[in-house]
A and B are shown apart, each in its own frame.
Chain A
């Protein structure tokens, strides 16, 4: 499955040696781990809706 849409002409980026694309949030998540911004069990409990 490709992350690229099929109508913008960029779907061949990876095959052409380009870099893949990911949701921007992935990069923020990596930065979070690097900076030690992690969520605890208590943090998660505080936002659960069930």
Chain B
């Protein structure tokens, strides 16, 4: 059943291919934990940026479960007519927050600039089309995944 939003704000989640592959590798409970966490954020009246645990450069880190981390870029308040959109770009799911050095890479200024560039939506002429083109998931879609 579709829920009637209390405000005209909507939060959407875009899964990068890497995040998708990470989700696929999790066990059932880990997958449920990630999707439930995202659902809780998008269904909240608070903006998604309020769920950010820490920032690394321009990356927004969101906790999931006891040890997991979602590496994201949260873009709040994309103005379009009378609606405000928030988008969570989910780059990577780290289920254990454990960092063997071989799996680490420098977050270079080039990488940081690229993250900024690919999540900058100032010049997007049609946000709805952008969301469709990038397979963005809203509250209903996330709820369906859990049902």
Give the B-binding residues of A (Cβ under 8 A).
1, 3, 5, 8, 19-34, 36-41, 43-45, 47-50
Contact = CB atoms under 8 A, between A and B. Distances in A.
B108 interface: yes
Contacts of A24: 103-105
Interface residues of B, number: 48
B3 interface: no
A8 B101 contact: yes
A21 B106 contact: yes
A19 B58 CA distance: 12
Given A1-B54, A39-B16, A48-B31, 6 more contacts: A5-B99, A22-B59, A22-B107, A30-B16, A32-B91, A44-B145
Given A25-B92, A36-B134, A38-B17, A20 B105 contact: no
Contacts of B107: 19-22, 26-27
Interface of B: 14-20, 22-24, 26-29, 31-32, 54, 56-57, 59, 71, 89-92, 94, 99, 101, 103-109, 111, 114-115, 117-119, 133-135, 137, 141, 144-145
Contact of B18 (A1, A21, A28, A49): A28
Contacts of B118: 30, 33-34
B134 A23 contact: no
A39 B92 CA distance: 12
B71 to A, nearest CB: 5
B20 A30 contact: no
Contact of A33 (B22, B91, B101): B91
